[in-house]
Amino acid sequence: MGALGVNDLDREAILAEIEKLTSSSVLHGSESLCNLLRFLVKQTLDHPGSTVKEYQIATEVFGRAADFDPRLDSTVRVQTGRLRSKLAEYYASDGSDDRLVVEIPRGSYHVMFHYREPEPRAPEPVAEPPAALAPRRSLPHWVTTAVVSMVAVISALALEFALRPAPQHAVVAEPPDALQALWLRFFDGPEPPLVVYSNAAFVGRPETGLRYFNAATDKNAVPLDHYTGVGEVIAVHELDNLFKILHRDMRLKRGRLLTWDDAKTSNLVFIGSPSENLSLREMPGTQDFIFKVARNGPRKGDLSIVNVNPRPGEDATYFSTAAVPIREDYAVVGLVRGLTNTQHVLVLAGLTTLGTQAAAEFVCRTRRVEELLSGLGAPPKGPFPQFEALLRVRVSGGVPVQSDLVAVHRHK
């Protein structure tokens, strides 16, 4: 049976079903989701046919302020998506025998109810009436011959089919242990991980020359924020291929559009350094290897990676090649804590876009991730501790051709 209007169902039966849902093991402990479910059901019952607004849910259920802007805060959409998934999980497990089903259609905050159809019963076999007794008549000879020939052909085809080898089904390979150890944590949230790529602010025009926007000297200039490096493009391609191997999805967003709500509710992968991926300047990032513009010395004004706590054999500062073409770059790979203890953040950042590409390629290759596990003193199958690693990247013809692990710092 399709979805029914509220008037078609017993209100008490609906409320009883909601209590079963909120008391179930699936929703137990998810107070915010239970509150959201009760609110949406009450609105549907009390105001049938009306549409519940995202603003109303944000302010009345999640306590958002009156200036709530859904373009900047996706809490309602994220939480409703989680609730939708929990309902599907409940009716596939604890509520598999419930006749009344509660659903929230995608793209809507309106609750729908319907009764499940009872399982169809197999029809009772109908007894054949006894054949009337009649004198047997012999068939003509040509009919008998045709029937015998047909039976022979059918038997031959059946034998040929039976002797054919069974079709081989494709076997889906299990992703390598090292890749699973590093990456599967990024899929433990309600949404796929958010891959955030850099798009620095520039001024000028491609025809006459572009340069980084400087807030102190470019107050009257209109910044252009729709450019990104070739390394970031290839990095996204590498991650997309990796996630296919892991049978997972990802979401993509440019850095300047990242919101605090994204940062609080999503596992994040940052592509690009804080010099171009500006959202990294406001997020918890790497602590041992940080990006900093040199204020003195022969490389004054150039971007560098500063080793805050150098260990024996490590340098304090790292620069890419001073002249063009770039022949050597450095990059940071960091698995660090997010805004909450349950979030995961991976930083893939080079001094140039080529180093960023190399960092992404490094974490997408089984052998390199195994090398990283070894450098951390972790077992081949993980688990991965939080860490920061520094890569030296050899570049030829504008392409990173070799990456060497220079330093690995394990976090406590």
Whole-number average pLDDT of the chain? 83
* Confidence bin at 9 (pLDDT 50/70/90): low
pLDDT at 69: 80
Q: Which residue has the higher pLDDT, 126 or 294?
A: 294
Domains of the chain with CATH codes: 6-115 (1.10.10), 177-410 (no CATH)
pLDDT digits (tens, 9 = 90+) for 56-92: 899 999 988 888 888 788 889 889 988 998 999 899 8
- SS3 per residue for the chain: CCCECHHHCCHHHHHHHHHHHHHCCCCCCCHHHHHHHHHHHHHHHHCCCCCCCHHHHHHHCCCCCCCCCCCCCCHHHHHHHHHHHHHHHHHHCCCCCCCEEEECCCCCCCCEEEECCCCCCCCCCCCCCCCCCCCCCCCCHHHHHHHHHHHHHHHHHHHHHHHCCCCCCCCCCCCCHHHHHHHHHHHCCCCCCEEEECCCCEEEECCCEEEECCCCCCCCCCCECCCCCHHHHHHHHHHHHHHHHCCCCCEEEEHHHCCHHHHHHCCEEEECCCCCCHHHHHCCCCCCEEEEECCCCCCCCCEEEEECCCCCCCCCEECCCCCCCCCEEEEEEEEEECCCCCCEEEEEEECCHHHHHHHHHHHCCHHHHHHHHHHHCCCCCCCCCCEEEEEEEEEECCEEEEEEEEEEEECC
Q: Which residue has the higher pLDDT, 136 or 257?
A: 257
Q: Of the segments 93-107, 210-224, 227-241, 273-287, which one has the largest average pLDDT value?
A: 227-241
* Confidence bin at 170 (pLDDT 50/70/90): very low
pLDDT at 134: 46
- Average pLDDT of the residues in 306-314: 94
Q: What are the tokens at 82?
A: 């989680």
Indicate whether 261 pLDDT > 70.
yes
Indicate whether 330 pLDDT > 80.
yes
* Confidence bin at 252 (pLDDT 50/70/90): very high
Indicate whether 148 pLDDT > 60.
no
Q: Which residue has the higher pLDDT, 336 or 69?
A: 336
Q: Which residue has the higher pLDDT, 100 or 205?
A: 100
Indicate whether 136 pLDDT > 80.
no
Give 117: exposed, middle or buried? Use CB within 10 Å, 0-12, 13-18, 19+. Answer: exposed
Indicate whether 352 pLDDT > 70.
yes
Indicate whether 192 pLDDT > 80.
yes
Indicate whether 145 pLDDT > 80.
no
Do the beta carbons of residue 304 and residue 290 sit within 8 Å?
no
